[in-house]
Structure 1
Amino acid sequence: MTSSSPALNRIRVGSAPDSWGVWFPDDPRQVPWQRFLDEVADAGYEWIELGPYGYLPTDPAVLAAETRRRGLKVSAGTVFTSLHHGPAVWDRTWAHVSDIAALTRAMGAEHLVVIPSFWRDDKTGKVLEDSTLTAQQWRDLAAQTERLGREVRERYGLKIVVHPHADTHVDTEENVCRLLDATDPDLVSLCLDTGHYAYCGGDSVKLIETYGERIGYLHLKQVDPEILAEVVADEVPFGPAVARGVMCEPPAGVPALEPVLAAAQALDVELFAIVEQDMYPCPPDKPFPVAERTRRFLRSCGA
């Protein structure tokens, strides 16, 4: 920590399998889970997310033993939803959510990161549905997200945090604010991913200052503005954009993380700030040095 960077004593820094190029439960191009756990601990992180369900051991006793002996704790699980399709998808959604929520709770975590479904395939670019929701779909999205928040809290004691994401319907400032304005603050909070929000044209500091009480969780990430301009101009889907390097190692990209962290600290609540360095696929030896440098950088910011 430098003298110019006050301690961010309410920010709990962690990382995630995503920072090791892990997007799927099982993929030969991904590092084994044991290596991820070893390296995330060696890089100086104390907190981790579960990543895609099935990548880390799903037996709570096994996972607890493996994390404990490396000095790691779990901050959140992640689920994928398509709640704008309304009550018809509830049963399928809950089948996906319940196992992950149970493991998340068993690991002592309190948050469930909720990622909306993509409107175009993140690998092929095939358009799966309209990129704009109808008024009825917005109503369904709000109502079903509130329902998810209520059910997850009542059954598992967890808080949901909705993650704005490129190539989903919850992406831009307009759409993020629309969802927040349409949902109960007691049931629905936000996982502000600084990289995805910048990717979609948003200002993270402004969002924190405007909707501070709704910010329940942070993902720390940066985008390369030059590559972003190219992928937007070429209408490149998110997956190939990541392969082009659109998400870059801090502090090389935007947004600057120091003011984001300062704004988050000013909220005067405990917040997780989980590093997510999107890079799928990537060589197995690439993630660790990046993670180590990023941890050093965040310490220089006071975190």
Structure 2
Amino acid sequence: MTAANEAGLRIGTAPDSWGVWFPDDPGQVPWERFLDEVVASGYEWIELGPYGYLPTDPHQLEDELGKRGLKLSAGTVFTGFHKGDDEWQRAWDQALNVAGLASKLGAEHLVVIPDLWRSDATSQVLEPRTLTDEQWAKLGAGHDRLGKALLEEFGVKQQFHSHADSHIGTTREVLRFLDETDERYTNLCLDTGHFAYYGGDNVKLIEERPERIGYLHLKQVDPSLLFDVLKNDVPFAEAVTQGIMIEPPNGVPDLAPVIEAVAKIDADIFAIVEQDMYGCDVDRPLPIATRTREHIFSCTHLARS
């Protein structure tokens, strides 16, 4: 392990850890309070969250982050390339906004989340749960096209985020996604909670596919609740309100082995705390965010601000 690796991964947080899923929701914490509480809880790196939640004017956002000593690690977009060629324009329109803004503030990553087969807003089933071979091919080709364009246009790397209630969630699906895509253009934002949601072994995936790990989201699943959720086919959004993503160290996976395995690959990989808490009371996130950061820094020496 090199001296750079020994410094550990950069730990940050995201609007999701404050219950933010949408650009504008009166039940969510106001963006100014979110930024202030990020500082209060001890983090320096954040993600953009849903486009439009934080200021979209780059000068205003730079000022707001700068006066708080905060820095931006990534933005987020949503894609559905398996649905057909028409999805390209939708994805690129988002990328122009999100990657355009994030790159101006120095971010080098774009977290890409696949459309869900079951709506996270209404829990309505929108399409079949599994993809055909033709849809898999469209999915892979679309992401490689997007990743190549992001690199060429913005110098930003695509980091794909497997997700509960999406077509890419299980270990088998994640591995097929990697096999369908080109590591030059498409790699993983490995979300430890979403991968564990369907029984995935995070450390095993990291060790078997180290070249495909480009970014981390740190969260834990409540194993005592998970089997009820899966048995009863509870929609992910409902599971979140039930507390399926739980405050560390009360869930799985253990975060220290994940951080240490990824630190062996590249110390410049971000590890962003992202505890799904949509629908929570606005006073709840700050103490959880503070305790989570303290836990991470106490459980491994391979973490840095």
> How do 1:94-243 and structure 2 match up within 5 A?
94-243=92-241
What do residues 73-117 of structure 1 show as CA deviations (whole Å, max 9, x unaligned)?
000000000011132221122112211110011110000000000
Supply the AA of the counterpart residue of 1:261.
Answer: I
Q: Partners of 1:50 and 1:9 in 2: how far apart?
A: 25
2:26 matched to which residue of 1?
28
**Structure 1 residue 125 displacement after superposition:** 2.4
2:57 matched to which residue of 1?
59
Q: Partners of 1:125 and 1:56 in 2: how far apart?
A: 26
**2:86 aligned counterpart, secondary structure:** helix
Q: Partners of 1:287 and 1:32 in 2: how far apart?
A: 13
Q: Partners of 2:125 and 2:260 in 1: how far apart?
A: 38
Q: Partners of 2:278 and 2:91 in 1: how far apart?
A: 25
Normalising by structure 1, we get a TM-score of 0.96
Supply the AA of the counterpart residue of 2:70.
Answer: L
1:283 matched to which residue of 2?
281
Q: 1:247 aligns with which of 245, 248, 255?
A: 245
Q: Partners of 1:212 and 1:153 in 2: how far apart?
A: 21
Q: Partners of 2:285 and 2:267 in 1: how far apart?
A: 30
Asked if 1:81 corresponds to 2:79, the answer is yes
Supply the AA of the counterpart residue of 1:267.
Answer: I
1:45 matched to which residue of 2?
43
Identity over aligned residues, as a percent?
Answer: 58
- Counterparts in 2 of 1:46 and 1:274: CA distance versus 1, 3 Å: same
What do residues 49-96 of structure 1 show as CA deviations (whole Å, max 9, x unaligned)?
000000000000000000011110000000000011132221122112
Over aligned residue pairs, what C-alpha RMSD do you find?
1.0
Q: Partners of 2:154 and 2:274 in 1: how far apart?
A: 25
Query: Higher mean Cα deviation, 50-59 or 225-234?
Result: 225-234
Contact 1:125 1:236 in 2 (8 A): no
How many positions carry a matched residue from both structures? 297
Q: Partners of 1:198 and 1:29 in 2: how far apart?
A: 28
Contact 1:10 1:271 in 2 (8 A): no
Q: Partners of 1:234 and 1:125 in 2: how far apart?
A: 14
For structure 2, list consecutive stretches of 5 or more residues without a partner in the other structure. none
1:16 matched to which residue of 2?
14
Contact 1:123 1:240 in 2 (8 A): no
**Structure 1 residue 123 displacement after superposition:** 3.7
1:3 matched to which residue of 2?
none
